[in-house]
Structure formats: structure tokens, C-alpha cells
Amino acid sequence: MEALSFLSVSSVSLLNATACRTQKKNNREKIMSLKPPLMDLPIQTSEAGFYTGFNKSVAVYSKIIVAILVIWAVVFPDQAGRILNAINSFILANTAYWYIYIVALFLILCVTLALIPATGRLKLGVEGDKPEFGDFSWFSMMFGAAIGVGMLTWAVAEPVYHFQNNPDVIAGVVEGGTAESVRYAYKWANLHWGFGAWACYGITGMAMAYFSYRRGLPLTVRSSLTPIFGKALSGTLGNVIDIVAVVATILGVAQALGFGVEQFVAGMTRIGIDGLTSEEGTANTLGVLVAIVIIMSASTMSALSGVGKGIKLLSNINMCLSIFLLSFFLIFGSTFFGLNAFFYGIIDYVMALPKLMFQVFRSDGVADSIATKQEGWQGAWSVFYWAWWVAFAPFVGMFLARISKGRTIREFVLGAMVIPAIMCFVWFSFAGGTAIDLTLNGDAGDAIFSSSDGDKIFAMVVHMLGDYMGWAMSVLIVILLLTYLVTTADSAVLIVNTINAAGDEGPKARPHIYFWGIALGAVVAGLLIAGGPGGGLKAIQTAMVIGAFPFSIVMVLQCAALIKGIWHDTQRSAAGIQNTTDFVEVAIPAK
């Protein structure tokens, strides 16, 4: 028995030793299979001539595509409108699932990476990198470039829309235009401007910053896909990706500027400059041209001064003016109503978010059924917004990456997704809430609701303050709007040039800045004028939705590349293998 016991123990020990050796062998093989990540992605740039320092393929082809769009819209407006609308209708009717699900993916990935301790601590840079900008300037630039323009239009207009009609009203859960529909209005408004919207920017910005600042790759969209495509991105594939990013950026920013131009013209009309609007109350040709010349002239001059000067100064100014205007609504607006809208709106939104992230309304084939109406509403609002944020993502994402070097992933998600979303909730609650309350209690009658989207905020302050003080506040709003428009436009021009220059912030030759400033203004003006009275914004929206779809595919690939890159980097760190540009290999003395 003792002999058998001894043999059994020996057998177990032998098996354990064998298993241990096998595990060590597997670990060694696994370590040996890991290689340092790609840290050199050469992108061909011209060494002489007009395009010195720029990738000629990306710069030329993106200019050609934008030029063709503008010429087509202006010379053949009917044909362009018919074809673009057909493509737009097809995309909105057949990609609802795609847009709803990918935005859910972006949100889940951002939150997961921030919450996991190991990934949340990862720095968007190397060990010694420190943030270039202070927290206030960093946040001001993010908010101003990303969404500030939209706030002045939609902080009032969107809660008003959803107060009257939303999927819950369509389903008969609540009656539109009543006090009971307020909470439902804010649930849907917060969905469109909340965490999902900012996750679109966050995922693109995080991917570009991670691979550019940790691995020394060019700060451009193609670099964020290196874990998947590797060195192939140096050639045609990378050029195509960057061209898609440039076109999406121009169309996405054109959408924001289109809303801004309409509101800017409405504001100038309010302060006494006549002849800029049509009978329908929208900007006429003269109004569009005057607004575009003012905005793009100022933005081009700002772009020439760079991020650290003009854009930073304007961002700080518009943030201070925004705080002043928001304080006015907090103090003199419907404060109690706004507080209720803020807190209940967030609670309702967060509780409904797990369902809203994946909810897709589909028609049952009956023309006037609830399902068909809900599908139409979602296509016109949620799907359109997700396409807009995707089109905005290469611009805002690269801008966020540019100003976030040295921040951790957790800081980045907090600063680029959570805080801006809360800021949007505040604007919607107190600006939009004041408009709803003034209408609900009968004080404003139909003065606010009957105004155009861009004019609603002006109509509200004039009603609250009277003619003289209302005029002064309107002047301040016009100035604030101009600073937001200029910040958005000049940031877009710099980002487009950075993509064209293979991620190099250096070669910003004046002719290229002038070209993209003029091109961006031409896209907005051309589509607004070609769309006709009341239809100009629709033409821009159509072009934007079409341009956003290709980049949505790029963004999903960025998610996969980010997951793969971070996972392999954690393995490299554990194995002592290089994964950042500042890696120093420590020699281990032989025994």
C-alpha cells in the first residue's frame, strides 16, 4: 500500500511538473509571437510645388469631390435635389438598424474603457506627456467646436418640437402639447444630444490620439486603423480613408453652419438689418451671402493664427458669453420649471437609455398606423442625428485628439463625453424649458412656437425683456453665435488641412487655408441657395446623410482596432515588450 501511495504521489507530481513545463512553454511561445506595434507609417507627401508637405492624392481628390458637389447643386439644382433625395431616402429607410446599433456600440465601448482600471489609466501619450491646455480652455474648445452652434438653435427648438410630438405622443401614451408631455419631450431631446452623440466624437478622437501619441504615428484617421490593416495604410487604402474623412467633415460642418447661417440672419433681422429674409422668414440669397462672407472671413483669419491662439481665444470668449446667457435663463427664466426638466429629464433618459439605445421602429406597411408614424419620426430625428454626429466625428474627433495629448482615457471620456452631455442637458432644460413654460401658462401665446427654428431664441428674449433690452440681448446672442460659427469653421479648416498634410500640423500654407475656407462657405451657400426658400437646409441635410454613411463604416473599424490595439498592448506590457515610443529596454544580467 505504501508503495502504491508513493507511486500515486509521484505520478501526480510528474503530471503537475509536465503541465507546468507545458504552460511555461506556451507562455514563452505566446511572448515570442508578440511583436512591437507598428510605429512607422510613412505617408507620401509632395516635396516641392504648390502641395509641398501635403499628400497630393488626398488633397486633390477631396477638393474635386467637394467642387463637383457645389457645381452640381448650383448648376443643376433640380437634378441634384432629385438624385440626392432618392439616395437619402434609401439610406434612411434601410440603415436605421445600422445607425442605432453602432451608436450603442460607441457608447458602450467608451464607458467600458473608462471604467476598467487598467484601460482607464492608459495615457493618450507617453509617460512624460502633460496636457497642453488647462481644463477650462480644453473644455471650451471641445464644446465650442463640437456642438456650440447647435445649442443656440436647438436648445429652444428641439424641446418645443418633442413637447408637441414624439413616439410616446404618437403611441397615445401622452397627449402632445400638454404639461404631461414635458418629461417625454426631454427624454427624447436628451437622447439626441446626450451620451450617444458625444460617444461618436469620443471613439474617433480616442482612437486617433491613442495610436498617434503612444506610437508616434501621424495624427490622421488612417493611423487609427493600423492594428487591422498595418502598413497597407501607407498607400491607396489609407488615402481613400482620409478622403472619406475630409468629405464627411465638410458635409457635417456644412450642416452645422447651415443652421447657424439661418439663425445668424434671423438675429441680424431682429437687431434691425432688413432685406435678408424671404417671405417665409428664412434667409434669402442676399442673407446667405452676407452671413457666409462674414463668418468665413473671420474663420479664415482665425485659422491662420492656429489652435493655440485664435481658436483658443475665441473658444474662451464664447464659453464666457455662453455662461452669461445661460445664467440669464437660470435667473430670469422659468427657473423652477427648468430645474424639474433638468433632473427629471436626466432620470427619465438614463432609465430609458438601455432600451432607447437599441430600439428601432419599423413600419407595418399601413400608411397612417402608429408603427409607420414612429418609423418616420425616428428616421427624421434619431437616425438623422446619428448620421450628423458620424459626419461630424472625423472633424471633432481629430480636434479632440489634437487638444487632448497627455490625458488619460478616463479623463478623455469624462471631458469629451460626460461633461459636454450634461452641459447640453442644462441648456435644453433652462432655455427650452423657459420657452415651453411661457407658452404653457399662456404668457407668450404663440409668439415663440410660431417662430422659425433659428428665431425662437430671439422671440423668447424679446418677449421676456421687451423691445429695448430684448434688442440688447439679441445683439449679445448674435455675437455669441458668430464666435461659435467662426470657431467651428476655422477648426474644420485646420483639421481638413491636417488630414491632407498626412497628420502634420506644420504645413498650413495660406492658399490651402483660403481654399478650404472658401470651399466650406461655397458648400453651405450653394446648397442653401440651390434648395430654394425653406428647402436649403433640407439639401444640406441630404448631402450630409449620404456623406456620413461611408465614414460610419470607418468608425466601426476604429472600434475593432482600438480593442485589438489596447489588448495587445496590455500583453506587451506584461511581457516587457515595447508598446510606446518612449520604451526603454532594461538589460537583465545573465546569471
pLDDT in tens, 302-343: 777 655 555 667 767 777 888 888 899 988 889 999 999 999
Secondary structure letter of residue 52 according to DSSP: B
Nearest to 420 by CA among 83, 99, 147, 76: 147
Q: Give the Cα-Cα-Cα angle 81, 85, 87 (nearest 5 degrees).
A: 125
CB atoms near residue 229 (< 10 Å)? 16
Q: Per-residue pLDDT tens for 126-137?
A: 888 888 888 777
* Mean pLDDT, range 505-525, rounded to an integer: 78
pLDDT band at 149 (very low <50, low <70, confident <90, very high): low
Q: Can you give the residue ranges of every domain in the chain? A: 61-253+306-438+508-570
Task: Tell me the backbone φ, ψ of residue 80, rounded to 5 degrees.
Answer: -60, -45
Q: Residue 443 and residue 463: Cα distance in Å, rounded?
A: 9
Secondary structure letter of residue 132 according to DSSP: S
* Residue 365, helix vs strand vs coil: coil
Secondary structure letter of residue 283 according to DSSP: B
Q: Per-residue pLDDT tens for 369-406?
A: 999 999 989 988 998 899 889 988 988 888 888 888 99
* Mean pLDDT, range 427-449, rounded to an integer: 89
User: Which of 409-418, 469-478, 531-540 has the least mean pLDDT?
Assistant: 531-540
Nearest to 168 by CA among 17, 390, 348, 3: 348
Per-residue pLDDT, 31 = 52
Average pLDDT, the chain: 83
Asked if 110 and 410 touch (Cβ cutoff 8 Å), the reply is no
More confident: 424 or 9: 424
Per-residue pLDDT, 434 = 94
More confident: 282 or 1: 282
- % of residues, the chain, pLDDT over 70: 87
Q: Per-residue pLDDT tens for 214-229?
A: 999 998 999 999 999 9
Tell me how long the chain is: 591
Task: Tell me the backbone φ, ψ of residue 277, rounded to 5 degrees.
Answer: -125, 160
Cell of 185: 419631450
